[in-house]
A and B are shown apart, each in its own frame.
Chain A
Amino acid sequence: MPGQALRRGCLSIAGGLLLWEILTRLLLENELLIPPPTSVLRSLWKLTLSGELNRHLSATLFEFVCGFSTACIVGILLGYLMGRYRWFDDLMDPWIATLYSIPVIAFVPFIIIWFGIGLFSKIIVVFKITAVAIMLNTAAGIKTIDPVWLELSNSLRLSPWETTYKIRLPAALPYIITGMRLGVGRALLGVIVAELMAANAGLGYLLRDASETWDSPKLFVAVVLLAAMGVGSFILIRKGEQKLAPWRETAEW
């Protein structure tokens, strides 16, 4: 990002927060509707000191990491098979299309009925919502490989196994990363949905708890933390994308 854009961005954030603070202090007597940023910060500080925040954050992060990594492993594996074998692609296609078009939130009741309300059901939710994006992108990456590279591996007499991990997978890597970038946001949504439905810890639980007790500063703490997690993971993946596939123009958002 060029310097000027960065400066304007910071200015915009700072100005927005200041305006928010002043307006809420002047116009609203009650913090219920929109708490000023300072009381959100105070609430954040209190939650940090009491250790409550730590508990929720680590619960959410753990579920997120477990679900996301499972989705990556299975998604890349199935995506690879779909990219390699036409018949497998045809076989999977109708089911993936159906699964993909069902909103995750409509899926959660099933998952709770079948897998209970523990860690496992949350991992399943995250998996369901993330795996398809990774699968489809991996398959696309495997399919669009440049035939010249395959000829090269042929003339070098690489074994099928070597062709896979020296040629095919590296060629598909940028696609896989794109799938992961698309998956990250969805995975976060999945964790929160699952925690809102039934949980005793996690940011989704904090969100529900705060909204049910009308604790607006706490509610905003949860929202801000989720925003930070979303932005953070997005930037991380984008950096990875730029590093692994610098020739590709990466998305701005």
Chain B
Amino acid sequence: MKGALKLISILSGLVLWHLVATRVVNDSSLLVSPLVVIAKGYEMMFVTAELYPHLVASSWIFLYGMLIAALVGVPLGFLMALSPVTRDYVNPWMTALYTTPRIAFAPVLLLWLGIDIASKIAIVFLGCVFPILINSFYGMRVVSREFVEVGRSFRLSGVALFVKILLPASVPFILAGLRLAVGRGLTGVAIAEWFGATEGLGYLIFFAGQTFNIPILFVGVAVFALLGIFGFQVLKIIENLATPWRKEFETK
């Protein structure tokens, strides 16, 4: 029932879109029917294969940015959770960086790192790092007192306590942070490729917008949406694999 209603909603939306595009607007520089978009997408994927270089370029930027963000965000989040002094000193800078719209940093990063891949990775990094950092911080902070006390009564201390208790307990939070970071990272990719790129999905969209090529514009946007959904699902699977005890807990 629930699935059927969703399906109906999607189908009727697409039909409405088709009718508006062909009967009401009827101007291919404003809006095209979803059928045209699908045909264009098929052509770009299987006939001319022009989509792939863009997809590959964007994927590398995204993966590097995410990876560096995780490598920096997780340890820094832990450090801030475990040492209040570090937190107090880092906090104001972090708040400022976090609440500033990322796009404001794009020109500055471009100025510093050039228009190569480095500045693009930096923009993605800046988008991804905060959700990861904040979630690692909270994960470490909210580790149940009882877990820590159990560890202590087994005479765990220092490194052992960290590896056996604190780290596993905060894994779900870190993964949630990564999942939040996917969306922000994709936005970062689009922003980065908007400034002085020659390939990539962001460039594709930007170029199509400038040349009023509506079908390509729609294809680019759809690919972005699919990537977002795909990344989200992949991380969900990883989450289930990495924290099997949660699932057990839920089924009980």
A interface with B by C-beta (< 8 Å): 4-5, 8-13, 16, 32-34, 87, 90-95, 97-98, 100-110, 112-114, 185, 188-189, 192-193, 196, 204, 207-208, 210-211, 216, 219-220, 222-223, 226-227, 230-231, 233-234, 253
Asked whether B139 is an interface residue with its Cβ less than 8 Å from the other chain, the reply is: no
Among B152-195, those with CB < 8 Å from A are 183, 186-187, 189-191, 194
- Asked if residues B101 and A188 are in contact (CB atoms below 8 Å), the reply is yes
Nearest chain B CB to A116's CB is how many angstroms away? 12
Which A residues touch B108, using CB under 8 A? 211, 219-220, 223
Main SS of the interface on chain B? helix
* A13 vs B102: C-alpha distance when bound (angstroms): 20
- Asked if residues B101 and A109 are in contact (CB atoms below 8 Å), the reply is no
Q: Which of B84, B93, B98, B187 has a CB less than 8 Å from the CB of A105?
A: B187
Which A residues touch B217, using CB under 8 A? 109-110
Interface contacts (Cβ under 8 Å), in number, total: 154
- Asked if residues B89 and A12 are in contact (CB atoms below 8 Å), the reply is yes
Q: How many residues of B contact A (CB 8 A)?
A: 60
- Asked if residues B99 and A227 are in contact (CB atoms below 8 Å), the reply is yes
Interface string of B78-106 (1 = CB under 8 A from A): 00000011011111111111111111110
* A226 vs B102: C-alpha distance when bound (angstroms): 10
Q: Which of A33, A90, A102 has a CB less than 8 Å from the CB of B6?
A: A90
- Asked if residues B208 and A231 are in contact (CB atoms below 8 Å), the reply is no
Asked whether B125 is an interface residue with its Cβ less than 8 Å from the other chain, the reply is: no
Asked whether B5 is an interface residue with its Cβ less than 8 Å from the other chain, the reply is: yes
- Asked if residues A102 and B228 are in contact (CB atoms below 8 Å), the reply is yes
Q: A8-B85, A16-B93 are in contact. Are A112 and B99 (CB under 8 A)?
A: no
Asked whether B205 is an interface residue with its Cβ less than 8 Å from the other chain, the reply is: yes
Asked whether B111 is an interface residue with its Cβ less than 8 Å from the other chain, the reply is: yes
- A–B Cβ pairs within 8 angstroms, 7 of them: A5-B91, A95-B10, A102-B225, A102-B228, A210-B107, A216-B111, A231-B96
- Asked if residues A106 and B111 are in contact (CB atoms below 8 Å), the reply is no
Asked whether B150 is an interface residue with its Cβ less than 8 Å from the other chain, the reply is: no
